[in-house]
Amino acid sequence: MTSAHGYEQPRQATRRRKAVGAGEMAQQLASMVSGLDTPRQKEIAAQKLGPFLVELEEELQDDAAKEAHDRLYGPFYTTERTMRLLGLENRQALTGRVGRNTILRVKTADGRNAYPELQFESGDVLPALKPILQLMLPHVATEWTVLDWLVHPHPELQSQRPIDSLRSGDAESVLAAARADASAWAA
């Protein structure tokens, strides 16, 4: 499975181990800095650590944003995994489905194709999702707009997410909401 930002989604256990290791390193660093005696030692530490701490802060904020993004959209499949899931023998068959708007493909931050897992059920795209994709995809700047629409609560669906309403069998209400929004996007 892939994340929306990278290609392989890290396991939670790996993240926990890294967090524990980072916490231990932070304690060691804090202990080392608190043990500095002279103003010159403190100046050297500030010169060396300043840029490192700024970069670390940026990376931590970026990672938190990526985790929130991945929680919202769920895991993604690669092209190869999607082809296996759908029983397709070549990329052209998958590209054809993308071209007919019967499957949702998004581009990751690094330009790779990714297929949101949430659209699949029993080895194919949810049947009720296909007409919604065909209705909406022609009217959006990027496929991310449709994915975003699917995962956010919608007022016309009793504040349910459209993907959840589809899974619970309320395809007509979702289709009506999709028609209204696609019409507004096309205007």
Q: What is the structure's pLDDT at 7?
A: 44
Query: CA-to-CA distance for 93 and 29, rounded, in angstroms?
Result: 54
Is the pLDDT assigned to residue 10 strictly greater than 70? Answer: no
pLDDT tens column, 18-69: 555 677 877 787 778 888 888 888 888 888 887 887 787 777 777 776 777 6
The crossing angle, in degrees rounded to 10, of helices 79-86 and 91-99 is 90
Element (H, E) at 116: strand 113-116
Report in angstroms the alpha-carbon separations of 28 from 23, 25, 162.
9, 5, 48
Q: What count of Cα atoms within 13 Å lies in the side-chain half-sphere of residue 182?
A: 18
Give the model's confidence band at 101: pLDDT under 50 very low, under 70 low, under 90 confident, else very high: very high
Return the pLDDT at 148.
Answer: 95
Q: What is the mean pLDDT of residues 85-98?
A: 96
Name, in order, each residue with C-beta under 8 angstroms of 110's C-beta and a sequence gap of 6 or more: 5, 6, 7
Listed in sequence order, the DSSP H helices in the chain are: 12-34, 39-73, 79-86, 91-99, 129-136, 143-151, 162-167, 171-186
Judge whether 2 and 78 are in contact, CB under 8 Å: yes
Entry pTM: 0.69
Contact 126, 165 (CB under 8 A): no
Q: Which residue has the tokens 């059920």?
A: 121
